[in-house]
Amino acid sequence: MIRACTRCGSRNRVPAARLADEGRCGACKEPLPAPAEPLDVDAASFTEIVSGARVPVLVDFWADWCGPCKAAAPAVARTAAEMRGRALVLKVDTERQAELAQRYNIRSIPNFVVFKDGAPIAQHAGLVDHRRMETWLEDAAKS
């Protein structure tokens, strides 16, 4: 995964296993914090992150035309910020990444899937608040 340094703008390659860790920019040596926002991913980055992450991963399957998906977006963003360093939050646009939606049997959106050690361990279709999402991730971390 490529992360840009907020200080110097340099692009840093961060392995999926280290994405939830704080690192340092290779150019300016400033801290490169774990993401505090949902990461919009394609099929390749999805596979790399889900299979390599050492922390639980919450995936929000959504589409731009979906009103409930837009309503869920603030809770998804808050979850990413509050779980920074302890979990990762990904967004998968089901229109652009239809093969991923099919692979995980996504029939309605928003649809949330929690992954641990590369495997799905929980799935929920429909709106939920950020506390519920955080509980899923905390429970996944304990198991």
Residues recognised as catalytic: 66, 69
Distances from the Cα of 96 to the Cαs of 36, 42, 127, in angstroms? 23, 8, 21
- Comparing CA positions, the residue from 87, 124, 83 lying closest to residue 105 is 124
Answer left, alpha or beta for residue 135, where phi above 0 means left and psi between -120 and 50 means alpha: alpha
CA distance 131 to 140: 14
CA distance 140 to 117: 10
Q: Is the dihedral of CA 95, 113, 45, 69 positive or negative?
A: positive
The answer to whether the peptide bond before residue 110 is cis (omega within 30 degrees of 0) is: yes
DSSP, collapsed to helix, strand or coil, labels residue 101 as helix
